[in-house]
Amino acid sequence: MKTIDSIHFSGKRAIIRVDFNVPLNDKFEITDESRINAAIPTIQKILSDGGSVILMSHLGRPKSGPEEKFSLKHLIPTLNQKLNTTVLFAPDCIGAETKKMAEALQSGQVLLLENLRFYKEETKGDEAFSAKLAELADVYVNDAFGTAHRAHASTTIIAKFFPHTKVFGYVMANEIASINKVLLETKKPFTAILGGAKVSDKIGIITNLLEKVDHLIIGGGMMFTFIKAMGGEIGTSLVEPELLNTANDLLAKAKKKGVSIHIPSDAIVADSFNNDANTKEVPSYSIDKDWMGLDIGSKSIENFKEIILNSSTILWNGPMGVFEMENFSKGTKAVALAVADATAKGAFSLIGGGDSVAAINKYHLADKVSYVSTGGGAMLEYMEGKILPGIQAILD
């Protein structure tokens, strides 16, 4: 893998595509710094080599042109503190002034560029715009795994202007190594746990995983499409009627491949989508008509715990229920704890996808699993077996 460790940055200017798309509150304070924390080792390696750093990122989804609430300048105090320096700021990500600031950078200095997505050329992957970003630096570093599945100017197109000086940062390198550990260097038994709202988002990953896993646990809202496809009564639970045939096809494929699919046999049902709704525990395939399944039941929890604890490789994407509501969080919490216990016993565990990461953080288990991925969509696409343009562009 071509990583920053292969370059000595002394006297070099590196432009790093970071993922600083962090959540901000009304006062423009960062409410979750994980993405910034993740990028610090890459920045520090370049600075301690004696290089200088230009940071570029998107933030939010500006519609057309600059918007105060999406300015990257709000990140400066946090960056100053974490890097223990005064970070310079370019109020435009391209242009003569920015070029002048880049050229004036001294060894050890950091320049943060304004939001790339203030230009529509960024998401369009415009070549001329990419060239303007490229002329700011000697080396291109991609460390934004969360956007590696997009062929944008700063994530992909820019790489062609650095034919011999383009590398992965540590975030990218760790993400790739962890996913490869799960997909290519798999220790058996391998269990994948998939949850979340929709089957439609996960068809690709389920199909690819059926080639590799021993056990596939399905929870969350998506379980009900499978249960209905098998002829169950699911009341008013979440369902994607257009995917019933697909669900049956996936079940048949699993059987053919010898993969054990585990669909919850019981569920916690509620009479409305509300934490204070009336609830009861019932078989998941015979839910009364005005009730909806919002979590997995206690028999399923026990069953899943046992499978997880006997696994050597674990991939978890998506919650088991509506874990944001306390009364429907038991299944997700139990799975999170079981993954942590299995990891303590020696399993390799990879957690990916926004909501399972939120769950792991909620239960303070992030340091008790092997790796927490920073990229939801990018991880899913990689797991589906797709070649991510941001990764390919460095390898080309």
Indicate which residues carry an active-site annotation: 35, 198, 354, 377
In the shown chain, the binding pattern of residues 307 to 336 toward ligand AMP, with x for contact by CB under 6 A and - for none, equals -----------xx-xx-x------------
- Selected from 73, 198, 253, 362, the binder of ligand AMP by CB under 6 A is 198
Structure tokens at 22: 């962090």
Scanning residues 203 to 232, which ones bind ligand AMP (CB under 6 A)? 220-221
Q: Which of 112, 116, 243, 294 binds ligand AMP (CB under 6 A)?
A: 294
- What is the Rg, in whole angstroms, of the alpha carbon atoms belonging to the chain? 23
Distance from C-alpha of 145 to C-alpha of 369, rounded to nearest angstrom: 19
Shorter beta-carbon distance to ligand AMP: residue 45 or 333: 333
Nearer to ligand AMP, 167 or 294 (CB): 294
Minimal distance, residue 197 CB to ligand AMP, in Å: 4
Binding residues for ligand AMP, rule CB under 6 A, total 16
Are 355 and 196 contacting, i.e. CB atoms less than 8 angstroms apart? yes
- Residue 281 found at the interface with ligand AMP (CB under 6 A): no
- By DSSP bridging, strand 190-194 and strand 139-142 are unpaired
| 103 in Cβ contact with 88 (< 8 Å) | no
Helices (H) and strands (E) in the chain, counts: 14, 17
Local structure of 390: helix, strand or coil: helix
Q: Does residue 355 touch ligand AMP according to CB under 6 A? A: yes
* DSSP code for 154: T
Q: By CB under 6 A, which span of 44-52, 172-180, 194-202, 298-306 interacts with ligand AMP?
A: 194-202
The rounded distance, in Å, linking the Cα atoms of 287 and 189 is 33
Phi then psi for residue 229, to 5 deg, are -60, -30
Q: How far is the CB of 390 from ligand AMP (least distance, A)?
A: 22
Q: Which is nearer to ligand AMP, 207 or 312 (CB)?
A: 207
CA distances from 19 to 80, 148, 169 (A): 17, 10, 12
Residue 236-265 contact track with ligand AMP, rule CB under 6 A, x = bound: --x---------------------------
Q: Does 196 bind ligand AMP (CB under 6 A)?
A: yes
Residue length, the chain? 396
**Cα dihedral sign, 132-133-137-142:** negative
Rounded distance between C-alpha atoms, residue 229 and residue 246, angstroms: 9
Strand, coil or helix: 316: strand
Nearer CB in complex with ligand AMP: 200/392:
200
Residue nearest to ligand AMP (CB): 196
Q: Judged by CB, which is closer to ligand AMP: 51, or 195?
A: 195
Cβ-based nearer residue to ligand AMP, 201 or 281: 201
**Preceding omega of 189 cis (within 30 degrees of 0):** yes
- Which range, of 60-68, 103-111, 172-180, 195-203, touches ligand AMP by CB under 6 A? 195-203
The gap between the terminal CA atoms of the chain, to the nearest Å, is 12
Is residue 352 near ligand AMP by the rule CB under 6 A? no
The residues in 41-80 that bind ligand AMP, with binding defined as CB under 6 A, are: none
Binding site for ligand AMP (CB under 6 A): 196-198, 201, 220-221, 238, 293-294, 318-319, 321-322, 324, 353, 355
